[in-house]
Amino acid sequence: MHLFFILFLTRIVWINGQSGNFPDCKSGPLSSFPICNQSLPSRQRALDLISRMTLVEKISHMITTSDAISRLGLPKYEWWSEALHGLAYSPGVFFGGDLPAATSFPMPINLGATFNMRLVHHIASIISTEARAFNNEDQAGLTFFTPNINIFRDPRWGRGQETPGEDPFLTSQYVYAFIQGLQRGDDERYLKIAGNCKHFDAYDLENWNGTSRHYFNAKVTDQDLVETYLPSFKTCIQDAQVASIMCSYNSINGIPACAHQFLLETIARESFHLNGFVVGDCGAIANILYTHHYRLTVEDTVAVALHAGTDLDCGIFYLLHLHDALNSKKIVETDIDQALMRTFDILIRLGWFDPPEQQIYRHLNKNNVNTLEARQLSLISAQESIVLLKNMNNALPLHIDQLMNKKIALIGPTADATVTMQGIYHGRAPFLIDPITGFKNLTTGKLINIEYARGCGISSYDEKDFAAAIELARSSDIVFFFGGIDHTIEDEGVDRKSITLPDIQLTLIQQLEKVTRSPLHIVIMSGSGIDLSYIRDSIQCSSLTWIGYPGQSGGLALATVIFGQYNPAGRLPITFYPASYVNEVSMFDMQMRPSPVNPGRTYKFYTGKAIYEFGYGLSYTTFNYTWNNNTIFSFYSIQSLIKNNSKTNRTLISLIRINVTNTGNMAGDDVVLAYVTPPNIIDGEIVPFKQLFGFERIHLAINETKEVFFPFTIEAALTIARDASKWLHPGLYHITIGQQRMFSIELEGQSTQWA
């Protein structure tokens, strides 16, 4: 959904008012009908309401901006609201009056870096509370097109920042926590709000080498589809029970996603058991005809989308052409009824038709928005997401009590970043603490002089501000450079061509290195990987910190890390590739495994040398791992596993137990990552170098030890074959905790295909 389109529709909604009014089931026209009978199943209630609508009225409810039906007492409703990391500008959300702002949390790429799913759940719960408060004030809908759970396959993708990272297991854990936080609250009778997992599926290209997402045909092998592109959606639909999904703009193996009956009906509904509706990305149904040329007429386009299972059109194609499809007998009215049943069912489950006095969510208001809890959570989540990549000679943290009468220079284009810290799909934050303000807040009254010079822009090559920055650096005791990229380089509709730090920034860094009294500290803001090898290798750069897009309290969170009030523990949720990567593989190549024209993608298959690996991150303290099992080798029979357990993916093979000890001089968090390397398979299949199957974030005081458990299940041991079948193979499965190989499990017997 392109930002310009969002802003245009937002303007319309602002003028006309959001449809936050509710149907009156006490005394309104619907009150005597089954739609208002709470004892009936929700789908039965929905079907009765639909049976009372005229054809024209039905068609008006097949698009995201639905008309009111005054004779039935049915208010208008805007289906399209956004809440990726807080309520966001969209046709269904506006800010003003008693609700001028909403909490702006860090971007999902930051939340992935926390590896803390309890935190993710808490954030989603706060978002849904604020969403309900906005809805009760007619300033938001109840259906939110969030989260984005596509795999961050390629570092050039402009929307990768909207996702929690490159790993299917991490993304699956994230989406479960997020959807549970959005949809489930204190009243199990109702959905708190309705989430939407997008974009189904294999969507991760905006506009590259002249091909946009509206035209792109993603050629995906069955192996990659099952192993990489589907797992997060399976978790979202089957386990988290999301209320809706969004089919994407692109085609998949020649079939547009919103016309893909196998994808939407066979996989999403029949296999994953989707209990909700499918909405097409905004304009995606029209794309079936106009960009993919999958059908030749408007009537056939409506039919193929509707029969594939696309229930709701974010656009106007259905509005314009459903009549044509009916008249030509390409569809029948019951096709429309089925789609409407799925959408109205969700509104019923949200309590839209039920009396407000029996619903706790209907009583949330402005006092439940921008609370102290929400503000603290935004700060904590930003702190937990910060990744320390380099800390030469323990240059950080800085100790405030040793900085009296010192001068600290803050230089660079992101030192004063405010809205930029929010990333994309953001709303109006109640406040924005940029890094300069964060530094000054923590040093107030300490006789520490904080001064700022911009030095350069993000990417435009203009050295006119170099002189002031260099002079400030020359006269300062400590120098920080704040760089990175922003939405002009990575955004919806904007893919990167290069993954290097913009030349102007690198040039300024090199000039600052020549004049500083001590090595530079570098802070990078970005939603994707950058080749930071120069900074990594330079002895004139003492520290390197990645802060993603950290939200409303990002500057303060960073300052607490720099000055040692918070011990960083974030870990990269993506691989930072060398600059040459973009010349080695086309963005059009969806294959994950290496080939003669593909060096492989993500930490699981990349054959090159990463600048920084997935899962990398430093701390101000040190941790030691010890094995807590009786042996470093275990033996199991495949046939015994089958015989003694039901043949499910959750069958436990072994419980991995690790003792983690803080052996350093500062309390802090550790992110414990558990990987498995499967055995090599004789028939030539390429297996992952390793794959994540568990993680846990824990806090440890100095000298404290905690035990961490990781269940190693059949699911973690399965190998996906070329034909997408799942197999349990005999051989050695090596367990690695962090960077340390600690345990091996041998499975004996015959290779067995798993259901």
Residues that are catalytic: 281
Helix (H) or strand (E) run with residue 633 in it: strand 633-637
What is the DSSP annotation of 453-470? E--S-SSS---TTHHHHH
CB atoms within 10 A of CB 515: 15
Distance CA 380, CA 105 (A): 10
Helix (H) or strand (E) run with residue 342 in it: helix 333-349
Beta-carbon contacts of residue 169 (< 8 Å; ≥ 6 apart): 231, 691, 692, 693
Distance CA 126, CA 193 (A): 11
Q: With beta carbons less than 8 A apart as the criterion, state whether 183 and 243 touch.
A: yes
Distance CA 151, CA 49 (A): 39
CA dihedral 431, 434, 438, 441 (to 10 degrees): -60
Distance CA 446, CA 243 (A): 52
Q: With beta carbons less than 8 A apart as the criterion, state whether 742 and 658 touch.
A: yes
Classify residue 422 by its DSSP letter: G
Distances (CA, A) of 611 to 4, 327, 525, 579, 605: 35, 60, 17, 9, 15
Question: At 534, phi and psi to the nearest 5?
Answer: -60, -45
Distances (CA, A) of 542 to 110, 190, 211, 478: 23, 53, 41, 11
What is the DSSP annotation of 504-550? HHHHHHHHHHHH-SS-EEEEEE-SS--B-HHHHH-TTEEEEEE--S-
- Composition of the chain by helix, strand, coil, percent to 5: 35, 20, 45
Beta-carbon contacts of residue 66 (< 8 Å; ≥ 6 apart): 19, 60, 76, 77, 78, 79
Going by their DSSP bridges, the two strands 196-200 and 752-754 should be labelled as unpaired
Handedness of CA 184, 190, 196, 201 (dihedral sign): positive
Beta-carbon contacts of residue 126 (< 8 Å; ≥ 6 apart): 103, 105, 373, 374, 377
Distance CA 194, CA 737 (A): 37
Q: In terms of C-beta density within 10 A (0-12 exposed, 13-18 middle, 19 or more buried), how is residue 59 classed? A: buried
Helix (H) or strand (E) run with residue 172 in it: helix 168-183
Supply 27's token pair. Answer: 């005394």
Distance CA 151, CA 239 (A): 18
Return the HEC string of 69-138: EHHHCECCEECCEECCCCCECECCECCECCECCCCCCCCHHHHHHHCCHHHHHHHHHHHHHHHHHHHHCC
Residue identified by tokens 């950290």 is 550
CA geometry: angle 518, 520, 522, nearest 5 deg:
160
Q: Find, among 124, 127, 92, 118, the residue nearest to 13 by Cα.
A: 92
Q: In terms of C-beta density within 10 A (0-12 exposed, 13-18 middle, 19 or more buried), how is residue 666 classed? A: middle
Distance CA 615, CA 613 (A): 6
Q: With beta carbons less than 8 A apart as the criterion, state whether 277 and 244 touch.
A: yes
Give buried/exposed letters for 148-171 (b at 16+ CB in 10 A, else e).
bbbbbbbbbbbbbbbbbbbbbbbb
